[in-house]
A = this chain, B = another copy of it.
Amino acid sequence: MARTIGSHGPTTMEAIRKAGLRLIFEHGYEAMSLRQLAAEVGIQPGSLYNHISTKQELLSQLIQDHINHLLSELELALRDKRGAVERLRAFVAFHVSYHMTRKREVFIANSELRSLEPRNYEAVVALRGAYERRLADILTDGVAEGVFDVDDIQVATFAIIALLTGLCSWYRPGGRLTKDAIIAAHEKLVLSGVMPHSAASPSGGDGKRGEQA
């Protein structure tokens, strides 16, 4: 009588992750029921437990995997970039394009942190901290190089990440703007935001980067 319908084999776990991602994105972790999830996958609710140990652990896994992937991709994106300006530009381009293709993972990793149990929460926050530090380091370097003018690195870091991440709330593939246009718009906003203004800072007036705006 076993396994009359529904998926099976190594595919099932992948189907669970995928459906879980979608459902959590759409309804939130608390609001997603394992019944829904199982139905989506095409198995009985109890069968989920052949693949996950708890609902909490599924969430934690999804988030952790996402952040690990995000971090390693960021390394790749920044690998051969030199200079704070170029690296910030690369960071923005990477972040935006990653968020456009992995909207769900990103959104969940930001909005469902509070649903994580303390142990998982701390692990994820640590990883997220590593990501933020990459941006903070770029900003710090840029200030040292004299190419950035930032009052408070911490505030700027949070603000830039919030700005970029906000994308997930409204971006829909196939919208009015091309991917490149969106990236360009964000690059401009962010770089302008942290680069010295001729008006405000004479050192910025040498024209070196007047063209950016």
Distance (whole angstroms) from the CB of A169 to the closest CB of chain B: 7
- Does A58 sit within 8 A of B, measured CB to CB? no
- Per the bound structure, the CA–CA distance linking A188 and B193 in Å amounts to 7
Q: Quick one: CB contact mask for A155-184 with B, threshold 8 Å, 1 for yes?
A: 110111111111101100000110001101
The answer on a CB contact under 8 Å between A155 and B169 is no
With A162-B165, A193-B190 as contacts: A181 and B26 at CB distance below 8 Å = no
Binds B, one of A10-18, A75-83, A200-208: A200-208
Query: Chain B CB within 10 Å — which of A27, A186, A207 has the most?
Result: A207
| CB-contact partner of A194 in B159, B161, B189, under 8 A | B189
Which residues on B sit within 8 Å (CB–CB) of A199?
A: 195, 197-200
- Does A3 sit within 8 A of B, measured CB to CB? no
* Chain A interface category by residue count: 35 or more
The answer on a CB contact under 8 Å between B210 and A204 is yes
- Per the bound structure, the CA–CA distance linking A85 and B136 in Å amounts to 28
The answer on a CB contact under 8 Å between A200 and B193 is no
- Per the bound structure, the CA–CA distance linking A21 and B192 in Å amounts to 37
- Per the bound structure, the CA–CA distance linking A156 and B114 in Å amounts to 29
- Does A5 sit within 8 A of B, measured CB to CB? no
Distance (whole angstroms) from the CB of A111 to the closest CB of chain B: 6
- Per the bound structure, the CA–CA distance linking A204 and B212 in Å amounts to 8
Question: What 5 new A-B contacts, CB under 8 Å, besides A162-B163, A162-B165?
Answer: A155-B177, A163-B163, A192-B195, A192-B197, A197-B199
Chosen A-B contacts, 15 in total, with CB atoms closer than 8 Å, are: A26-B114, A28-B115, A31-B115, A149-B192, A159-B163, A159-B166, A184-B212, A185-B213, A188-B200, A192-B194, A195-B213, A201-B205, A203-B207, A204-B210, A205-B211
